[in-house]
Amino acid sequence: MNRTLRALLAALAALVLVVALAACGGEDEESSGSESAATGGAPAVEPIEESSENADTSITIGSKNFTEQFILGEIYSQALEAAGYDVTKELNLGSEQIAFRALKSGQVDAYPEYTGTAITSFFGVKIEDAAGLTPEEAYEMAKEDYAKEGIVALPQGKFDNTYVVASTVEEQEELGATTISDLAALPNADEIKIAGFPECRQRADCLLGLENVYNWTPTFVANEGKFEPLDEGQTELGFVFGTDGELSLNDYVTYEDDKSLFPPYYISLGIREEALEAIGPEGEEVLTRVQEPLTEDVMRELNARVDLDKEEPEQVAADYLSESGFVQ
């Protein structure tokens, strides 16, 4: 890989350090955070403390059926295990509808879901209406509707796994564009080929959105692959997801969605009220704290370790918790 998780976490630590020093006038230069960033290590976080009192508290963590969800499910599960809780994993539940039913029925106590998915798939918001929402607005809507089902939406994470338009670096240089508006304004805009999943053709947050929001009708090529059409020269552009592992490489670029076509899809762990009460404030803190370093770049790197390097999600999650300092 061109970027390592340790380097990304160190960069995050350095950013936090700069903000902290600015706030305190540059004092305490010998803090542990400074040493961590200077040595290229992980951010200086407090390790998760194991408590024997948590051993009698059981919780079942679920996930949907793709790489990022497996990794997230493992991160939350292993973090709670590190704190001493009795954790059962029900990963690979299936689609969002199956996972949500499992959560409501008590088959699982918690699973990570994206705010845009929650409000559009579960709570009746039209995709075109979700497109104009800020991340905070989408989260608050999801949180409010989850509460009606006896579910708590824990604070959302930092990365957005929404659709993005991507190309190879070489293709961007030829097109001379950096935003979707730039692409739509090109003289041959409608002749430009863009690949996407077959269902993208009828989605308001995919091809239809380009037509409705950007007044652009590129030539659509239905393809189950995401980056293969770009690599093989079948299309100039492709619809991909913002945290795809391939985007951790230096081979691809994304184009700014400057008219907010794509809804926000930030992660939030939905947890049943009784399960949250059982794990208490300590468990809640563990769950929210371990997702703090999960920026878009870090999530891409974790996905790449599974999809490109063929590592197991369980090991990738364990390495993340170790490299970020949550476990020793």
pLDDT in tens, 296-313: 999 999 999 999 999 999
Quote the CA–CA distance of 140 and 148 in Å, as a whole number: 13
143-165 as b/e: b if 16+ CB within 10 A: bebbeeeebbbbebbbbbbbbbb
pLDDT at residue 37, as a whole number: 32
pLDDT tens, 197-215? 999 999 899 999 999 999 9
Alpha carbon 159 to its chain centroid, in Å, reads 4
Quote the CA–CA distance of 117 and 162 in Å, as a whole number: 10
CATH code, 163-255: 3.40.190.120
Quote the CA–CA distance of 38 and 1 in Å, as a whole number: 22
pLDDT at residue 132, as a whole number: 87
Low-confidence ranges of the chain (pLDDT < 70): 1-44
pLDDT at residue 32, as a whole number: 37
pLDDT tens, 11-53? 555 444 444 444 444 444 443 333 333 223 445 689 999 999 9
Collapsed DSSP state (helix, strand, coil) of residue 84: coil
What average pLDDT does the structure give for the chain?
90
pLDDT tens, 165-182? 999 999 999 999 999 999
Looking at domain 56-159+264-323, what is its CATH homologous superfamily? Periplasmic binding protein-like II (3.40.190.10)
Residue type for 13, please? A
